[in-house]
Chain A
């Protein structure tokens, strides 16, 4: 398990306003090229490829591989949205371990303009199309607004607590030239922003962007700094959508994840948690043991103030943007860049990194949760 590493990462620049010639395929191709250049690997060496995109149709993974000129022994396409990056990583690690491939590129991205986003959320799945869109309904903000209410009630959280998380991420985004929103945010700005779905305000909701992310997974070392995969795991549909959504599958996964990694949550230096909404960041931080369930507001404030674990240092999706299916890959790319010492002005000293994925709202909340623990090595 501990022999497989991520040796390169790249992100096609995120934008709120994609140009006419920009497609999902072109931004994914750009991210793949950047990741391979970062890894100093020639495209001819790639023998494994996986992709996740909501908007690739009518193409599939093999069409994209063809158009990218890849000749492969391993290929997959993943449909799990915010969980897709780590789902693909889990499969890629096993493929490399099994010898099915030696050099695997994982990519995710979407051209996500407003029309595409509206079409996607309206027909996200059968339950959404039939039982939510007729309400009417235009995306998952209401579900997570009501989940946020449940979390506030259960753990004594306030709007200001969520605001601190959002503001902290915006502070990181100010150091990330790739983030679409970089201007400093005050608590007054946060609380004064327009209500989207009570109690969610504008800055609690991710801005859809166009972009893509990619990483290179290989068993080969010796190319300089890399992120060794210590553990990767997943949980899907842990509760049939009949719970309160305040815990994710990570709560069930957590013990096994840390045991496999051979470290504890307290050892983590940097984390990218899937931040589609602040409440879900809080839920995941709790589930993996980085927040105290008996004092969530206090432990959250301490975590953000001390930066004992640097959380969502890219600015997260809330400030950097959500490029459709790349939402999960964005956090993975950020932690890999940090562990490889390539994060520019926002670089932190980090040996161990955590990345979580979450997503695929079946009806009331996300049904997919996964995580990986990475270690900086050279």
Chain B
């Protein structure tokens, strides 16, 4: 269970969502690396009971995730891009819609 995060080929900086140019070194060449765990920094519960979290993916990439199960701030949680994954997981939508201009 993991998600793919953008990595700069030149300086190894990680980004989410994807950037066009690396904000650290200015390079425009990227690949992807798997991330399997995120660290939950804050949790907010919506009126309908949905639980969302502000989290970081190693080394320190901030992401926003949906939490399943009783997950608290400070915990390390498995990351998934499967919206219906079972168990105590953090769902991070990673699939980008392709725009007309991208095709």
Binding site for B on A (CB under 8 A): 126-127, 129-137, 141-143, 145-146, 149-150, 194-200, 240-242, 363-364
Contacts and interface: CB of A to CB of B under 8 A. Distances in A.
A146 B44 contact: yes
Nearest to A150: B42
B17 A131 contact: yes
Contacts of B52: 135, 137, 142, 146, 197
A135 B63 CA distance: 12
B60 A242 contact: yes
12 contacts: A126-B96, A130-B17, A131-B94, A134-B93, A135-B64, A141-B46, A142-B52, A150-B42, A194-B47, A363-B17, A363-B64, A364-B62
B16 to A, nearest CB: 8
A195 to B, nearest CB: 6
A372 to B, nearest CB: 29
B50 A136 contact: yes
A197 B46 contact: yes
B44 A197 contact: yes
A145 B44 contact: yes
B93 A130 contact: yes
Nearest to B99: A126
The 7 A-B pairs with the shortest beta carbon distances in the complex, nearest first, are A134-B93, A146-B42, A145-B44, A240-B23, A146-B54, A135-B66, A127-B17
Nearest to B16: A131
Contact of A129 (B23, B41, B45, B97): B97
B17 A198 contact: no
A197 B47 contact: yes
A198 to B, nearest CB: 5
Interface in B1-24: 16-17, 23
Given A131-B64, A198-B45, 5 more contacts: A126-B96, A129-B97, A130-B96, A131-B94, A242-B62
A199 B44 CA distance: 7
Contact of A364 (B54, B94, B97): B54
Nearest to B73: A149
Contacts of A197: 44-47, 52
A132 B64 contact: yes
B90 to A, nearest CB: 11
Contact of A142 (B44, B91, B94, B95): B44
Interface in B70-103: 83, 91-97, 99
Nearest to B92: A131
Contact of B64 (A136, A143, A195): A143
A197 B47 CA distance: 6
A130 B97 contact: yes
A151 to B, nearest CB: 11
A274 B50 CA distance: 28
Given A130-B96, A135-B91, A197-B47, A241 B42 contact: no
A135 B94 CA distance: 10
A132 B93 contact: yes
Contacts of B43: 146, 198
A153 to B, nearest CB: 9
A26 B67 CA distance: 43
B62 A241 contact: yes
B83 to A, nearest CB: 7
Contacts of A145: 44
A194 B61 CA distance: 32
Contacts of A363: 17, 64
A136 B91 CA distance: 10
Contacts of B99: 126
Contacts of A242: 23, 60-62
B40 to A, nearest CB: 10
B46 A196 contact: yes
Contacts of A364: 54, 62, 64
